[in-house]
Amino acid sequence: MRSVYALTPLAAAIGAVASQPADSWVFGNSLFYLGPPSGNSYIAKATYSIVPPSVPWGAKSNADDEPWVSVWVGASSTAGDQDANLYQPIFNWCPDQESQYAANILPPLDQYFDNGFTIGAALQLLRSVAVVNSKVVQTVTMNDEIISKESDALDAPLQYLYSSNECYTGAGSCGSLTRYHNTEITNLTVTLSEVDTRFDSVMSLDSVTDAEFKSTDGGITWHTDRITVNTIDFDSSDDTQVQ
Protein backbone atom coordinates (compact mmCIF):
# COMPACT_ATOMS: atom_id res chain seq x y z
CA MET A 1 0.00 0.00 0.00
CA ARG A 2 1.08 3.54 -0.65
CA SER A 3 0.42 6.09 2.06
CA VAL A 4 1.44 9.39 3.56
CA TYR A 5 1.47 10.61 7.14
CA ALA A 6 -2.12 11.37 8.08
CA LEU A 7 -3.12 14.82 9.22
CA THR A 8 -4.34 15.02 12.79
CA PRO A 9 -8.12 15.24 13.30
CA LEU A 10 -7.78 18.72 14.80
CA ALA A 11 -5.88 20.15 11.85
CA ALA A 12 -7.69 22.83 9.89
CA ALA A 13 -9.95 21.42 7.20
CA ILE A 14 -8.72 21.78 3.66
CA GLY A 15 -11.20 23.28 1.23
CA ALA A 16 -14.12 21.05 0.25
CA VAL A 17 -14.36 19.77 -3.28
CA ALA A 18 -17.26 18.46 -5.34
CA SER A 19 -15.35 15.29 -6.34
CA GLN A 20 -12.01 13.95 -5.26
CA PRO A 21 -9.16 14.39 -7.78
CA ALA A 22 -7.01 11.51 -8.96
CA ASP A 23 -3.91 10.64 -6.93
CA SER A 24 -5.06 12.42 -3.78
CA TRP A 25 -5.36 11.35 -0.14
CA VAL A 26 -8.82 11.69 1.39
CA PHE A 27 -9.43 11.53 5.15
CA GLY A 28 -12.87 10.68 6.53
CA ASN A 29 -14.34 12.87 9.26
CA SER A 30 -15.30 10.12 11.71
CA LEU A 31 -12.58 9.57 14.28
CA PHE A 32 -11.29 10.19 17.80
CA TYR A 33 -8.23 12.07 19.05
CA LEU A 34 -6.63 11.63 22.47
CA GLY A 35 -3.70 13.47 24.07
CA PRO A 36 -1.44 14.70 25.39
CA PRO A 37 -1.44 13.62 29.04
CA SER A 38 -0.37 16.22 31.59
CA GLY A 39 3.01 16.67 33.25
CA ASN A 40 5.65 14.03 32.52
CA SER A 41 3.12 11.29 31.86
CA TYR A 42 3.07 9.41 28.56
CA ILE A 43 1.03 6.61 26.97
CA ALA A 44 2.60 3.32 28.05
CA LYS A 45 0.03 0.99 26.47
CA ALA A 46 -3.20 1.13 24.47
CA THR A 47 -5.46 -1.80 23.61
CA TYR A 48 -8.78 -2.05 21.78
CA SER A 49 -10.89 -4.51 19.84
CA ILE A 50 -12.36 -4.12 16.37
CA VAL A 51 -14.13 -6.26 13.78
CA PRO A 52 -12.94 -5.48 10.22
CA PRO A 53 -15.31 -3.18 8.34
CA SER A 54 -16.78 -4.49 5.12
CA VAL A 55 -14.79 -3.93 1.97
CA PRO A 56 -15.71 -0.41 0.74
CA TRP A 57 -18.54 -0.40 -1.79
CA GLY A 58 -19.13 1.82 -4.81
CA ALA A 59 -15.45 2.32 -5.60
CA LYS A 60 -14.40 2.86 -9.22
CA SER A 61 -11.13 1.25 -10.11
CA ASN A 62 -8.42 1.58 -12.72
CA ALA A 63 -6.33 -1.60 -12.76
CA ASP A 64 -3.15 0.41 -13.31
CA ASP A 65 -3.77 2.76 -10.37
CA GLU A 66 -6.34 1.38 -7.94
CA PRO A 67 -7.75 3.21 -4.91
CA TRP A 68 -6.62 2.06 -1.46
CA VAL A 69 -8.66 2.43 1.71
CA SER A 70 -7.22 2.19 5.23
CA VAL A 71 -8.54 2.19 8.82
CA TRP A 72 -6.21 2.55 11.81
CA VAL A 73 -5.66 3.70 15.37
CA GLY A 74 -2.13 5.07 15.77
CA ALA A 75 0.17 6.28 18.52
CA SER A 76 2.81 8.99 18.19
CA SER A 77 4.99 11.35 20.19
CA THR A 78 3.53 14.32 18.30
CA ALA A 79 0.21 15.55 16.96
CA GLY A 80 1.09 14.76 13.34
CA ASP A 81 4.66 15.99 12.91
CA GLN A 82 6.06 14.24 9.82
CA ASP A 83 9.46 13.93 11.53
CA ALA A 84 7.99 11.61 14.20
CA ASN A 85 7.06 7.94 13.93
CA LEU A 86 3.41 6.91 13.82
CA TYR A 87 2.84 3.36 15.09
CA GLN A 88 -0.39 2.17 13.50
CA PRO A 89 -1.90 -1.32 13.24
CA ILE A 90 -3.92 -0.98 10.06
CA PHE A 91 -6.56 -2.51 7.76
CA ASN A 92 -6.11 -2.08 4.00
CA TRP A 93 -8.41 -2.70 1.03
CA CYS A 94 -8.55 -2.25 -2.70
CA PRO A 95 -11.65 -3.04 -4.80
CA ASP A 96 -10.55 -6.52 -5.93
CA GLN A 97 -9.39 -7.94 -2.59
CA GLU A 98 -10.79 -8.85 0.80
CA SER A 99 -9.93 -6.91 3.92
CA GLN A 100 -6.33 -7.29 5.04
CA TYR A 101 -4.36 -6.49 8.15
CA ALA A 102 -0.79 -5.41 8.66
CA ALA A 103 1.23 -4.10 11.59
CA ASN A 104 2.71 -0.83 10.48
CA ILE A 105 5.12 1.87 11.47
CA LEU A 106 5.15 5.09 9.51
CA PRO A 107 8.56 6.74 10.01
CA PRO A 108 9.57 10.05 8.47
CA LEU A 109 10.94 8.68 5.18
CA ASP A 110 9.09 5.43 4.56
CA GLN A 111 6.54 2.99 5.88
CA TYR A 112 6.45 -0.76 5.91
CA PHE A 113 4.02 -3.55 6.70
CA ASP A 114 4.51 -6.86 8.41
CA ASN A 115 2.45 -10.04 8.17
CA GLY A 116 -0.19 -8.76 5.76
CA PHE A 117 -2.85 -11.42 5.18
CA THR A 118 -6.52 -11.93 4.45
CA ILE A 119 -9.00 -11.81 7.33
CA GLY A 120 -12.49 -13.27 7.16
CA ALA A 121 -15.53 -11.18 7.97
CA ALA A 122 -16.95 -10.80 11.49
CA LEU A 123 -13.77 -11.85 13.31
CA GLN A 124 -12.89 -9.66 16.28
CA LEU A 125 -9.28 -8.57 16.57
CA LEU A 126 -7.61 -7.40 19.77
CA ARG A 127 -4.87 -4.86 19.03
CA SER A 128 -2.29 -3.38 21.36
CA VAL A 129 0.50 -0.83 21.15
CA ALA A 130 2.86 -0.95 24.16
CA VAL A 131 6.16 0.63 25.16
CA VAL A 132 8.55 -2.14 26.28
CA ASN A 133 12.26 -1.52 26.96
CA SER A 134 12.43 1.58 24.73
CA LYS A 135 10.61 -0.17 21.90
CA VAL A 136 7.04 0.08 20.65
CA VAL A 137 5.51 -3.38 20.35
CA GLN A 138 2.40 -3.79 18.19
CA THR A 139 0.44 -7.01 18.69
CA VAL A 140 -2.72 -8.28 17.02
CA THR A 141 -4.63 -11.24 18.44
CA MET A 142 -7.42 -13.18 16.73
CA ASN A 143 -9.23 -16.06 18.49
CA ASP A 144 -6.67 -15.88 21.33
CA GLU A 145 -3.79 -16.38 18.89
CA ILE A 146 -1.17 -13.75 18.07
CA ILE A 147 -1.36 -13.25 14.31
CA SER A 148 0.96 -10.28 13.94
CA LYS A 149 3.68 -8.74 16.08
CA GLU A 150 6.02 -5.85 15.29
CA SER A 151 8.71 -4.27 17.47
CA ASP A 152 10.29 -0.92 16.59
CA ALA A 153 12.49 1.65 18.30
CA LEU A 154 10.66 4.33 20.28
CA ASP A 155 11.67 7.73 18.93
CA ALA A 156 10.14 9.70 21.85
CA PRO A 157 7.52 9.10 24.58
CA LEU A 158 4.05 8.52 23.13
CA GLN A 159 1.76 11.47 23.78
CA TYR A 160 -1.11 10.97 21.33
CA LEU A 161 -3.47 8.18 20.27
CA TYR A 162 -5.83 8.86 17.40
CA SER A 163 -7.80 7.11 14.69
CA SER A 164 -8.25 7.68 11.00
CA ASN A 165 -9.98 6.29 7.95
CA GLU A 166 -8.41 7.32 4.69
CA CYS A 167 -8.28 6.62 0.98
CA TYR A 168 -5.81 7.11 -1.82
CA THR A 169 -7.98 7.70 -4.89
CA GLY A 170 -5.60 6.36 -7.53
CA ALA A 171 -7.08 6.93 -10.97
CA GLY A 172 -10.55 5.94 -9.75
CA SER A 173 -12.68 6.78 -6.72
CA CYS A 174 -12.86 5.41 -3.20
CA GLY A 175 -16.55 4.73 -2.67
CA SER A 176 -17.98 4.37 0.84
CA LEU A 177 -16.73 2.71 4.01
CA THR A 178 -19.78 1.48 5.92
CA ARG A 179 -20.06 1.67 9.65
CA TYR A 180 -17.64 -0.69 11.38
CA HIS A 181 -19.13 -4.05 12.38
CA ASN A 182 -21.57 -3.32 15.20
CA THR A 183 -20.53 0.32 14.49
CA GLU A 184 -17.87 0.22 17.18
CA ILE A 185 -14.28 0.15 18.33
CA THR A 186 -14.67 -1.62 21.68
CA ASN A 187 -12.85 -1.81 25.00
CA LEU A 188 -10.38 0.98 24.35
CA THR A 189 -8.02 1.00 27.33
CA VAL A 190 -5.09 3.39 27.72
CA THR A 191 -2.47 2.97 30.44
CA LEU A 192 -0.36 6.00 31.38
CA SER A 193 3.12 6.07 32.91
CA GLU A 194 1.99 8.43 35.66
CA VAL A 195 -1.29 9.60 37.16
CA ASP A 196 -3.28 12.14 35.15
CA THR A 197 -6.67 12.78 36.75
CA ARG A 198 -7.84 14.94 33.83
CA PHE A 199 -6.82 12.76 30.89
CA ASP A 200 -10.46 12.50 29.85
CA SER A 201 -10.42 16.23 29.07
CA VAL A 202 -8.09 15.66 26.10
CA MET A 203 -10.39 13.12 24.41
CA SER A 204 -11.89 14.75 21.28
CA LEU A 205 -14.60 13.11 19.15
CA ASP A 206 -15.24 14.01 15.50
CA SER A 207 -18.52 12.49 14.22
CA VAL A 208 -18.18 9.55 16.62
CA THR A 209 -19.65 8.88 20.04
CA ASP A 210 -18.20 7.08 23.06
CA ALA A 211 -19.53 5.36 26.15
CA GLU A 212 -17.67 7.73 28.55
CA PHE A 213 -13.90 7.71 28.88
CA LYS A 214 -13.06 7.27 32.56
CA SER A 215 -10.56 5.93 35.10
CA THR A 216 -11.32 3.65 38.06
CA ASP A 217 -7.80 3.62 39.54
CA GLY A 218 -7.19 7.33 40.14
CA GLY A 219 -5.87 8.30 36.72
CA ILE A 220 -3.39 5.65 35.50
CA THR A 221 -5.74 3.41 33.48
CA TRP A 222 -8.46 4.95 31.28
CA HIS A 223 -11.22 3.05 29.51
CA THR A 224 -14.30 3.37 27.33
CA ASP A 225 -16.51 0.42 26.39
CA ARG A 226 -17.05 1.60 22.84
CA ILE A 227 -16.49 4.28 20.23
CA THR A 228 -19.18 4.31 17.56
CA VAL A 229 -17.97 5.19 14.06
CA ASN A 230 -20.10 6.61 11.24
CA THR A 231 -20.28 5.64 7.57
CA ILE A 232 -17.85 7.59 5.39
CA ASP A 233 -18.48 8.46 1.73
CA PHE A 234 -14.96 9.20 0.53
CA ASP A 235 -16.34 10.82 -2.63
CA SER A 236 -18.35 13.38 -0.66
CA SER A 237 -16.76 16.64 0.44
CA ASP A 238 -19.18 16.69 3.41
CA ASP A 239 -17.57 13.55 4.87
CA THR A 240 -13.93 14.22 4.11
CA GLN A 241 -10.82 16.37 4.09
CA VAL A 242 -8.39 16.20 1.17
CA GLN A 243 -4.62 16.35 1.42
Q: Where are the domains of the chain?
A: 25-242
Q: Which fold has domain 25-242?
A: Jelly Rolls (2.60.120)
Q: Of 8, 92, 28, 45, whose CA–CA distance to 241 is shortest?
A: 28
Give the separation between CA 106 and CA 132, rounded to whole angstroms: 19
103 within 8 A of 95, measured Cβ to Cβ: no
- In tens, the pLDDT along 177-225 reads 776 554 578 999 999 999 999 999 999 998 888 889 999 999 999 999 9
Give the separation between CA 89 and CA 125, rounded to whole angstroms: 11
How confident is residue 176, by pLDDT bands cut at 50, 70 and 90? confident
CA distances from 193 to 44, 56, 77, 136, 149 (A): 6, 38, 14, 14, 22
Angle at 43 between CA 41 and CA 46, to 5 degrees: 155
CA distances from 215 to 188, 190, 225 (A): 12, 10, 12
What pLDDT is attached to residue 50? 85
Bridge pairing between strands 100-106 and 112-118: antiparallel
- In tens, the pLDDT along 31-63 reads 899 999 999 999 999 999 987 766 677 778 777
Q: Model-level pTM? A: 0.82
